[in-house]
A = this chain, B = another copy of it.
Amino acid sequence: MRVGIEDVAQLAQVSTATVSRALRGLPRVSPATRARVLSVAQELGYVPSRSASGLASGRTETVGLLVPSVDRWYFGHAIEGVDQVLRDSGYNLLLFSLGGTSAYGRQRSFSETMVRKQIDALLVLTLELSPEEVLQLHHTGIPVLSVGGPVAGCPGVFIDDSAAAQAATEHLIALGHRNIGYLRGGPQDEQDFEVPNLRTAGFETAMSRAGLQLRPEWMVPGNYTVSGGVRAAAQIFDLAGENPTAIFCGSDEMALGVMFEAQRRGIRIPAELSLIGIDDHDFSAPAGLTTMAQNPWDQGRVAATMVLAELGGVAGSVQEKIMPFALLERNSTAPPQR
C-alpha cells in the first residue's frame, strides 16, 4: 500500500531518476514525459518521503522557528506570517518554543543540538541569544535571521524600537503632557532581550529633548503583560502626591491593563489620564487604545521570504531590514486636563 518512487517509475515506464526530476520541476524532462509522470504520481497518491529526500539531497526543506513562547500577541502573529510563506513554498515549519511565561523570558534553554541536521535555516523570534549560542548556530552553517528584535551577530527584521517609543512619547508631549509615566518590562525581560531597553531609551530621549524630568517613581515595571499593567497602574495610582497625566506603555498589553485598573478606580480615559502603547494588539482597536502600531505578521512574512530566497540560491538575500511603525490615534489620548 505504501507507494514509493519506484512504483511511479514502473507505471510511468521511466526510471526513478526521471520521476524525481519530473516531480520537482527540474529541466531536462520532455513535456510529454513530465505530464505522464505527474498524472501517474497523482493517481497513485505518491508523496516523496521527506526523510529519504532529505538524506539524499542534504536539504530538509524545513525551516526552524525558535520562539520564547507562542501564546502571546507578537509571537502568534509573527509565527502565522512565517508559516504562511513557508507553507506556500512547500516548506515545513518546525517550531521550537522555549515556553517562557513572561514576555521575553525563556523557561527552558535552547540547545544547538535541537536544531542540528534537521533544518535548512533558523528564524529566531525576539530572543536574546548569547554570543556563544550565535556562534554555535553559525557553526552549523545554516542561515540565521532574527525577527522582532536584534540579535548580535545575525541580521534581523524589526522596527526601530527606540524611534517608535520616542515617537509615542512625543505624541503625548505634543498633546501638552508634561507629567508622563512609563511602563517598562520586568527585570527578566530587560535581561533576556534588548527591545525593552531600546524602548526605554526612546522614552528617555523624548523626555530629555522636551526638557522634561524623568520621575523614577513613575517608571515602573509591567512585564509586558496585562496583569503586569494592572499592578503597575495600581502602584502609580497609589502614590502620594500628584499623578501623571499620561502614561506611555512599552506594550499595548500593559496599556490595556492600565485601562482596566483605571476603570476600576473611576479614573476617566482620556480625560484624566492619557494612554499610549506600542503594538496595535488585537484588543487595542476595540478598546479604543491609541498606539504606535507594528505588524509582526508582516515581519514574519518578510523574514521567511528572505530565508527562502537565500535557500533558493540567491546569496545575500538574508539581510537586516527595518520595518515601519505608525501612530494610530484612537480614544485614549487627549490634551491634559488642567
Contact = CB atoms under 8 A, between A and B. Distances in A.
Contact of A99 (B83, B116, B283): B83
How many copies of this chain sit in the oligomeric assembly? 2
Given A55-B51, A113-B47, A286-B227, A70 B60 contact: no
A271 to B, nearest CB: 13
B50 A118 contact: yes
Contacts of A116: 47
A48 B117 contact: yes
Nearest to A100: B80
A2 to B, nearest CB: 9
A155 interface: no
A96 B75 CA distance: 16
A52 interface: yes
Contact of A260 (B108, B118, B286): B286
A93 interface: yes
B92 A118 contact: yes
Contacts of A113: 45, 47
Contacts of A62: 94
A70 B83 contact: yes
Contacts of A70: 70, 76, 79-80, 83
B285 A227 contact: yes
A92 B225 CA distance: 29
B93 A80 contact: no
Contacts of A209: none
Contacts of A287: 226, 260
Given A51-B55, A282-B226, A87 B80 contact: no
Contacts of A69: 80
Nearest to A285: B227
A92 B97 CA distance: 11
Contact of A264 (B47, B114, B288): B288
A191 interface: no
A237 interface: no
B47 A117 contact: yes
A265 B139 CA distance: 59
27 contacts: A50-B54, A50-B60, A51-B52, A54-B54, A55-B55, A62-B94, A70-B79, A70-B83, A71-B79, A71-B282, A71-B297, A76-B76, A79-B95, A83-B99, A87-B108, A93-B95, A93-B96, A94-B94, A225-B282, A226-B282, A226-B287, A230-B286, A256-B286, A260-B287, A260-B288, A263-B263, A264-B288
Given A49-B55, A70-B83, 4 more contacts: A50-B51, A51-B55, A93-B95, A227-B286
